[in-house]
Amino acid sequence: MDPYSSSPAVTIIGGGMVGTACGLALQERGLSVTIIDAGDERDKASFGNAGVISNGSIFPMASAGIWKHLPRYALNRDNGLRIRYGDLPFLAPWLLRFMANASTTRREQAVAALAPFTATALSYHQKWAQRTSSEHLIRQEGWLRLYRSAEGFASSAADRLLLERHGVKFDVLDTQALRELEPAIQHPFHRAIWLTETATVATPGELLLAYQQLFQQQGGRWVNDQIQQLHTAEGYVQLYGKQQHYKSQTVVLAAGALSAHLCQQLGYRIPLVAERGYHVSLPMPEGPALRRAVYDVAAGYVAAPMQDRLRLLSGVELAHPQSRANPIQLERLYPAAREALGLAPTMDTSQLWSGNRPSTPDSLPVLGFTPRHQQVLCAFGHGHIGFSTGPITGELIARLICREHLPVDIHPFRVDRF
Ligand SMILES: Cc1cc2nc3c(=O)[nH]c(=O)nc-3n(C[C@H](O)[C@H](O)[C@H](O)COP(=O)(O)OP(=O)(O)OC[C@H]3O[C@@H](n4cnc5c(N)ncnc54)[C@H](O)[C@@H]3O)c2cc1C
């Protein structure tokens, strides 16, 4: 088919959770949609994440507390955060902006922007899960933040107040209550925060695939190509792929961590880096199985049951999206996870994965029309919450294009805020 002969109403660059959900929401409004995606499934952040869909995922990465721990972070002594110093020339401007967000005021502003956004994340997933008969992949049993010491738990006081302020339900568990709820946890954690309304997905890749299949069954066009350039002309956008050229009336940039260079071609400089994360898929240990995802705050890992396996996920490695993977954080956190969860003596790395969280310095996504090109919209930069908030993002993008009322204030997410 001659790619110039058809001019689809909307073309989405990127077929991860965000791009796919944009496609579904646009189709629902009767628009003709094409998704152009470069990678295979495992290249997507949407494939290998922890599958947590939480109304409590409202906290930006930057906080006033970071200043106190700066030397520790700068020396890569904290397992939760590693800086890829080889990528420092690329990272430095982003890091400066990130530190400018490390204040209580900025944090509370970000929380206020994210709370209504994440509050609706689960209901939009449930809608698409129902339409794809995938409800069984979503369990709503909450998730747990685990604290090893009284001091660690005390440092969560401000976050607990913010959760309460924004109506996020949680329970605080002591060592015994945690043991009763999750017999699989062997370490005597001092306290746990149980975010009771949270859902988890087993497995994220399967849910994404179901959404992608629905998109295609409904007549959506899926093209494997990598868009290298784009420019706008009167009434359409021209896209130059590795394989072909395309044109479209409207384009949505949803290319995850690789979105910034496409945006830059239109003159918008968006500070976007990869908060790289790693996972290793392990056999479920003997004994009672872990029922819900847990975040061991001090040790810096998340463990999530994924059907009959356990997915162990690392914290953040700040990096260039295209720099080589280095799973050193997983190696360092493994002893703590092994002791807490009764894992095997050595880490089986046969099923290792890494992916890029597309991250802005204020931890807010970039959503909406580009200011000077009304045929181009941005839908990227979701950092730690893009799997859960993909469907609400799709809804917002579709409503913007169709000039409908928006259920969430997206002003804090505007493209020209940097
Ligand atoms: C370890 C880890 C744990 C996480 N846990 C959670 C969690 O529990 N809950 C949660 O909500 N989020 C979580 N996240 C974050 C979440 O995975 C991401 O925010 C989300 O997947 C981003 O989705 P996306 O569609 O924007 O990007 P992606 O899923 O990365 O998809 C982007 C797509 O765009 C394509 N693309 C890029 N450039 C081009 C181009 N030029 N042309 C065509 N296609 C292109 C890529 O090939 C890719 O397929 C986690 C992330 C990691 C790494």
**Mutational test site, ligand 1, from 34, 46, 203, max ligand atoms within 8 Å of CB:** 46
Q: What atom in ligand 1 is closest to the CA of residue 386?
A: 19
Token representation of residue 388: 């859960």
Token representation of residue 63: 């906080």
Quick check: CB of 36 below 6 Å from ligand 1? yes
| Model pLDDT, residue 4 | 41
- Nearest to 379, CA basis, from 2, 11, 92, 1: 11
Q: What atom in ligand 1 is closest to the CA of residue 383?
A: 19
Inter-residue contact 47 to 208 (CB < 8 Å):
yes
Q: What atom in ligand 1 is closest to the CA of residue 226?
A: 42
Q: Which pLDDT tens digit goes with each residue over 22-37?
A: 999 999 999 999 999 9
Over residues 266-281, the mean pLDDT reads 96
Q: Which pLDDT tens digit goes with each residue over 233-260?
A: 988 999 999 999 999 999 999 999 999 9
User: In this structure, are strands 81-83 and 316-319 parallel, antiparallel, or unpaired?
Assistant: parallel
The CATH number of 10-46+206-271+363-417 is 3.50.50.60
Q: Which pLDDT tens digit goes with each residue over 289-333?
A: 999 999 999 999 999 999 889 999 999 999 999 899 999 999 999
- Nearest to 163, CA basis, from 68, 54, 315: 54
DSSP code per residue over 345-363: SS--GGGEEEEEEEE-TTS
Q: Which pLDDT tens digit goes with each residue over 156-169?
A: 999 999 999 999 99
- Using pLDDT thresholds of 50, 70 and 90, give the confidence band for residue 78: confident
Quick check: CB of 145 below 6 Å from ligand 1? no
DSSP code per residue over 17-74: HHHHHHHHHHHHTT--EEEEE-S-GGGSHHHHS--EE-TT----S--GGGTTTHHHHH
**ipTM entry:** 0.99
Q: What atom in ligand 1 is closest to the CA of residue 36?
A: 43
Cα 350 to ligand 1 centroid, rounded to whole Å: 22
User: Domain residue spans in the chain?
Assistant: 10-46+206-271+363-417
Query: CB neighbours of 252 closer than 8 A, spacing ≥ 6?
Result: 10, 11, 12, 13, 19, 22, 376, 377, 378, 379, 397
Quick check: CB of 24 below 6 Å from ligand 1? no
94 to 1, 125, 275, 360: CA distances (angstroms): 42, 31, 12, 8
Q: Which pLDDT tens digit goes with each residue over 84-120?
A: 999 999 999 999 999 999 999 999 999 999 999 999 9
Quick check: CB of 382 below 6 Å from ligand 1? yes
